[in-house]
Amino acid sequence: MGAVSGPDERATELTGEVTQAALLRGKFAGNEANPHGSKRIILDMPDTPTPNPVPFATQAWADAFRAAINNSPTYQAAARQWEGDFWFIVDAEGDMPSVPIYLDLWHGECRLCEVAVSEAARKPEFRIAGSRRAWQRVASREIDPIRALMTGTLKIKGSMGKIMRNVKAAQELVLCASAVSTAF
């Protein structure tokens, strides 16, 4: 991949996939031991109009998240064997109701991502719930998604074993979420 123009000259040293928003926020693939991981960034993806922050847990955010997933070759590679769907639930807080977001993932493709009125319409394989702040911490990569599940920051119903066998896909999914410029 060639040089990337922009305010951050370090971008010319990096290669790969994620979004420019992540680059501008200084978010890179990696972990605590090696925060820059494979030194890749996510460039703006076609058909993913997120220059202005999109309100979290809205259909506009779900659409941008779906586009980020479907434009991510690293997610597609990591999730090529994945078959499963989710409820991502943003728990009710104060006067804000809970928000169920349905996500249908199939062999590296997001077939559907939508904000639903209620959970009654679908019976997905997984249900992951947490506060708005917990989702923000995961999407901003402040906490690893697996650690969030293991510590109870996010609560899961479904096979944790299946998630653990697909850690790379889960991490790539979070990179896709962090690629969406989001207003929490």
- Say how many residues make up the chain: 184
Q: What is the CATH number of the domain that holds 94?
A: 3.30.1050.10
Q: Interior CA angle at 14 toward 13 and 19, to 5°?
A: 140
What pTM, to 2 d.p., does this model score? 0.72
In a domain, 122, yes or no: yes
Contact present, 40 and 169 (Cβ < 8 Å): no
In a domain, 139, yes or no: yes
In a domain, 89, yes or no: yes
- The whole-number pLDDT of residue 69 equals 97
In a domain, 163, yes or no: yes
pLDDT tens per residue, range 80-99: 999 999 999 999 999 999 99
In a domain, 26, yes or no: no
Residues paired with 182 in a beta bridge: 54
Contact present, 67 and 90 (Cβ < 8 Å): no
Per the structure, the complete domain to which residue 68 belongs is given by 57-183
Residue 43 reports pLDDT greater than 60: no
The pLDDT of 41-68, averaged and rounded, is 76
